[in-house]
Chain A
């Protein structure tokens, strides 16, 4: 029997079909997939690196799709082509990198803010950084830069306290 020669990191896939109307379950699903950092491979096919948590989260989403009158199945597997797998990893890293860059811009803008405002912005930046890191499966260099940018705002806030 022909055997698959390579074994890439396994992924967890949600294949789904949702009725066009109403649109609320569709946008709720989209929001939740985005929060998890899932790659939308096709309309109705989303992927995440396989771990217990991601699999469970996708299973709950599958149930939500079914409750909304749609169809959904969960698949575990790997891409057969190493090149396409790299491409997918790059695509996911690029999307996350853009989020880090937006955060870095916000952190730069915070430097010009008044101290009280800057302290509140710091809280928001830290929460946002945590949210992005939670869905960052292929860390790009921007991750470290974003951390530094937030640390610098924290240092400014701290300076004014002393």
Chain B
């Protein structure tokens, strides 16, 4: 399936792309556009103004994906808090990882194009998932 989002990805789009490839559509292909009008007819748009899979009711797009696809995995909802705070920093959640993740991805986006950004941030989110999973299973931060 083809998915479309805005160029110059940052944390929310990178996290959504990871979620799509890892959990929703392993064959996903991404298209990056400048303007919502440039979204190809066969692509599902996300994290763009006026589309369903975007910010809604104060949620970031990653949270919207989890809601729309009725994802119940508690680890993904933990990651959603981090992505929300990295993207919006509105202090809805306590997510101390967020400022660090924000800086890492913002910096990466300065030296890599969107394809590379997704390729590099994917394993980072894999690791974040594994870390949060272990924390949830053992009830403590893994060493």
Contacts and interface: CB of A to CB of B under 8 A. Distances in A.
B49 A59 contact: yes
Contacts, number: 23
A67 B56 contact: yes
Contact of A32 (B57, B90, B99): B90
A7 interface: no
B99 A130 contact: yes
A57 B55 CA distance: 11
Nearest to B60: A60
Nearest to B96: A127
B50 A35 contact: no
Interface size class of A (residues with CB under 8 A): 10 to 19
A35 B8 contact: no
Chain A binding site: helix, strand, loop or mixed by DSSP?
Answer: helix
A35 B58 contact: no
A63 B58 contact: no
Contacts of B54: 63
Interface in A14-33: 28, 31-32
B89 interface: yes
Nearest to A66: B50
Contacts of A60: 55, 88
Contact of A67 (B8, B57, B88): B57
Interface of A: 28, 31-32, 35, 52, 57, 59-60, 62-64, 67, 130, 134
17 contacts: A31-B90, A32-B90, A35-B89, A35-B90, A52-B8, A60-B55, A60-B88, A63-B50, A63-B54, A63-B56, A64-B55, A64-B57, A64-B58, A67-B56, A67-B57, A130-B99, A134-B89
